Structure 1
Amino acid sequence: MAKESVKARQRKREALVAKFAAKRAALKEAGDYAALDKLPKNASPVRLKNRCQLTGRPKGYIRYFGISRNAFRDMALDGKIPGVKKASW
């Protein structure tokens, strides 16, 4: 489990990216890089990190499900993800 402060920081960045998305796109289209530079640094989508929605783990992230491999395995074994079962051959 990631620290609550790390998860909160990530949520704050996600909110800033969403808030300034239209403005960033307009400034990029106009080529106004001076104004683009004055926007908050955390408003850039490059600063986002893929993190597990449940635990905040940054590594082993499965993009399709939005969770880490550990959380995915636990949920799959508990039958909480429809259509997913453990392979056996």
Structure 2
Amino acid sequence: MARKSLIERERKREKLEQKYHLIRRSSKKELSEVSSLREKSKIHRKLQSSPRNSAPVRRHRRCFLTGRPRANYRDFGLSGYILREMVYACLLPGATRSSW
């Protein structure tokens, strides 16, 4: 199980991303449309003034059950070892374990 503080930090980043999503998107759109260098630098400063954790790149995908940040499968939202345990317990339909 991941530490609660790390999971809460991730939730805070998610809220910040949602809050600044429209502002960042509109600024990036303006940045691509403007041709003068001065205008681009103004818009870039505006983008830089938003909180660092509002960028979607800063978010990390975590396991739905344990909060583990590594070895996550996008399709299931689970980490590798939880996925393996669920396959062995026949809890995931369509997933088979290999045996030879």
Q: TM-score range by the shorter chain?
A: 0.7 to 0.9
Kindly indicate whether residue 62 of structure 2 is the aligned counterpart of residue 51 of structure 1: yes
Give the TM-score taking structure 1 as reference length.
Answer: 0.88
Structure 1 unaligned regions, length at least 5: none
Which structure shows the higher helix fraction? 2
Map residues 16-31 of structure 1 onto 2, 5 A cutoff: 16-31=16-31
Which has the greater radius of gyration?
2
Structure 2 unaligned regions, length at least 5: 32-42
CA RMSD of aligned residues (A): 1.3
Matched letter for residue 96 of structure 2: K
How far is the alpha carbon of 1:80 from its aligned partner?
1.9
Q: What SS does structure 1 have at the residue aligned with 2:29?
A: helix
Match of 1:35 in 2: 46
Match of 2:39 in 1: none
How far is the alpha carbon of 1:75 from its aligned partner?
1.6
Instruction: For 1:42 and 1:13, locate their aligned partners in 2 and report how far apart those are by CA, in whole Å.
Output: 5
2:88 to 66, 70, 77: 77
Q: What SS does structure 2 have at the residue aligned with 1:57?
A: coil
Report % sequence identity: 39
Instruction: For 2:82 and 2:20, locate their aligned partners in 1 and report how far apart those are by CA, in whole Å.
Output: 31
Instruction: For 1:61 and 1:38, locate their aligned partners in 2 and report how far apart those are by CA, in whole Å.
Output: 32
1:8-57 Cα shifts (integer Å, max 9, x gaps):
11111122212222211101111211111111111001111122121111
Shift >3 Å, 4+ stretches: none
Give the TM-score taking structure 2 as reference length.
Answer: 0.79
Instruction: For 1:81 and 1:57, locate their aligned partners in 2 and report how far apart those are by CA, in whole Å.
Output: 19
Kindly indicate whether residue 67 of structure 2 is the aligned counterpart of residue 67 of structure 1: no
